[in-house]
Chains A and B, each alone.
Chain A
Amino acid sequence: MTSFREYREAMANGTAIEAPGPLLPSDAMAFQGERAGFVSRTVAAGIDVALIFLTVLGTVAVFWMISFIIDPMTPGTPLTTSNDRVPGVGIMIVYGYFLNWAYWTVCWATTGRTIGNLVMGLRVINYKGERVRWVGAAVRAAFCTTFPFGLLWVIVSGANRSVQDVVMRTSVIYDWAVTIPGFGGLKLANPDGTRPKE
């Protein structure tokens, strides 16, 4: 414990005293920085995939509405039997995969977090503990998109690593520093990694 005299001397010398502390609950500090387990990562990935799925559906809806603007006279047919007004399912699947790859690439390379990671308090880092680079993020995102079952390796791995983590030498850690904007008054980190101004 710092005595008041030491506190005053330290402040007079400009030495930083005890920090206000991280924006964390006290009971969450113990496991910060540890590799996350299967459930958290699966939930995070599920949130991301669900968002992508909703985006794809939204895209279909937009195409469908636009089709009426372009060609309002052609009689409409049920979507299940006709692809006249919306892109084909195969195209949508490819579009969804591409969207998912691009989304994960951008998120991991810029903040290390997707929205699913943000909700579950996770972050993707490289073997140095830093944010993965663009190329690494793109390759990892492609790997995760095309081989999602690699996540199952987390269950049996001795270090909570998926197949993608083993191949790419990455880790997914618990990191609750930021949360959803507006929730609890906390803010995202700046893209350049600096702490956002209050």
Chain B
Amino acid sequence: MTTDDGILREVVLITRPAPAGPPNPLDALRDVFSSSVGMATYTASTFASLIEQTVSYAVSTSVNAALDRLVPVIADAIIERIDLTDLVIEQVDLNRIVNSALDSLDLTQLVIDRVDINAIVAEADIEAVIDRVPIIPLANYVIDEIDLPQIIRDSTSGIAGDAVSTVRKQGVGADQLVARLADRVTFRRRQRKLEAPGEPESLIDRFAADASTTHDPLGDGEKPGDGETIGNEGTST
């Protein structure tokens, strides 16, 4: 150890047995008494535990046997006297239970996983479904969407119509060729302003056809705009 003045000192402890004194009779008597009491307590507790186990086993066996016989009888008697369905309906919040169950389930996935949809479709009355489908409006819808009249016009315009169209197209091509050549010769870089005022009759016809269409898209006998015509452009005087 180090003292305050910084000198390091060693401390050596040496143990020696104490000198034996004369035995105390009171201590011996106390030891004997306490040992006797402890022994008696342990014996008593062990005996009590043994008795308790024995009794509880005997009782539980007999009680269980009695309950096994009595409970079904009592339960049957109770169930016979109570309408469980009414009881559940009155006492239980079924909506909450059902909603809770539905919330926790992915019904769509459940149906996909568990239900054989092909089997259901195979059993379904498809003809009844078709009977409910508006076939004529559906057909008209398809015809309008694919622009069938234009397809027919493009494919069956006739030889004479094709000849006229060909001459016109060649005229348009020659116009553009001449214009390009002239623009090149005159060093014109800007494109020609070809937009004319007004609408051509060929495109206004689209709107006229809207009003004067004679087909019956709904198939119900009513023809929207039947008999109407629209002027192609302003009248001249």
B151 to chain A: closest residue by CB: A26
B172 beta carbon closer than 8 Å to chain A: yes
Q: In the complex, are the beta carbons of B209 and A19 less than 8 A apart?
A: yes
B222 to chain A: closest residue by CB: A14
Q: In the complex, are the beta carbons of B171 and A127 less than 8 A apart?
A: no
CB neighbours (8 Å) of B176 from chain A are: 37
Quote the shortest CB–CB distance from A43 to chain B (angstroms): 6
CB neighbours (8 Å) of B179 from chain A are: 37-38, 155, 160
Number of A-B contacts (CB under 8 A): 232
A73 beta carbon closer than 8 Å to chain B: no
CB neighbours (8 Å) of A177 from chain B are: 200-205, 232
Q: In the complex, are the beta carbons of A110 and B236 less than 8 A apart?
A: yes
Q: In the complex, are the beta carbons of B182 and A184 less than 8 A apart?
A: no
Q: In the complex, are the beta carbons of B202 and A175 less than 8 A apart?
A: yes
Q: Of B138, B199, B233, which one neighbours A131 at CB under 8 angstroms?
A: B233
Which 10 pairs, one residue from A and one from B, show the smallest C-beta to C-beta distance?
A: A129-B198, A37-B175, A184-B161, A129-B197, A177-B202, A177-B201, A39-B174, A40-B171, A131-B236, A34-B194
Q: Map CB proximity to A onto B200-214 as digits: 1 under 8 Å, 0 otherwise.
A: 111111111111111
A4 to B140, CA, bound (A): 10
B215 to chain A: closest residue by CB: A20
Q: A64-72, A78-86, A185-193: which lies at the B interface? A: A185-193
Q: A48-56, A115-123, A140-148: which lies at the B interface? A: A115-123
A12 to B222, CA, bound (A): 10
- Per the 8 Å Cβ criterion, residues 74-120 of A in contact with B are 109-110, 119-120
| Interface range for B | 35 or more
Q: In the complex, are the beta carbons of A158 and B236 less than 8 A apart?
A: no
Given contacts A2-B145, A17-B217, A197-B229, contact A184 B235 (CB under 8 A): no
- Main DSSP-derived SS at the A contact region: loop
Q: Of B137, B168, B231, which one neighbours A7 at CB under 8 angstroms?
A: B137
CB neighbours (8 Å) of A29 from chain B are: 202-203
Q: In the complex, are the beta carbons of A19 and B202 less than 8 A apart?
A: no
Q: In the complex, are the beta carbons of A133 and B203 less than 8 A apart?
A: no
Given contacts A19-B206, A193-B233, A195-B205, contact A128 B200 (CB under 8 A): no
Quote the shortest CB–CB distance from A18 to chain B (angstroms): 5
CB neighbours (8 Å) of B147 from chain A are: 18, 21
A167 beta carbon closer than 8 Å to chain B: no
Interface core residue of B199, B202, B230 (most chain A CB under 10 Å): B202
Q: Of B195, B199, B236, which one neighbours A109 at CB under 8 angstroms?
A: B236
Q: In the complex, are the beta carbons of B157 and A25 less than 8 A apart?
A: yes
Quote the shortest CB–CB distance from A153 to chain B (angstroms): 11
B134 beta carbon closer than 8 Å to chain A: yes
Quote the shortest CB–CB distance from B214 to chain A (angstroms): 7
Q: Map CB proximity to B onto A122-136 as digits: 1 under 8 Å, 0 otherwise.
A: 010101111111100
Q: Of A7, A16, A43, A133, which one neighbours B237 at CB under 8 angstroms?
A: A133
B186 beta carbon closer than 8 Å to chain A: yes
Given contacts A38-B178, A133-B236, contact A159 B193 (CB under 8 A): yes
Q: In the complex, are the beta carbons of A31 and B172 less than 8 A apart?
A: yes
CB neighbours (8 Å) of B196 from chain A are: 33-35, 125, 129, 171, 173
Q: In the complex, are the beta carbons of A23 and B202 less than 8 A apart?
A: yes
A115 to B215, CA, bound (A): 32
Q: Map CB proximity to A onto B156-192 as digits: 1 under 8 Å, 0 otherwise.
A: 0110111111011101101111110010001010101
Quote the shortest CB–CB distance from A6 to chain B (angstroms): 10
CB neighbours (8 Å) of B208 from chain A are: 195
A-B contact pairs, 19 of them (CB 8 A): A1-B145, A4-B141, A11-B137, A19-B206, A21-B147, A21-B209, A22-B205, A22-B206, A26-B154, A31-B172, A32-B202, A33-B195, A130-B234, A131-B236, A155-B179, A177-B202, A182-B160, A195-B212, A198-B212
Q: Of B160, B204, B211, which one neighbours A184 at CB under 8 angstroms?
A: B160
Quote the shortest CB–CB distance from A123 to chain B (angstroms): 7
A127 to chain B: closest residue by CB: B197
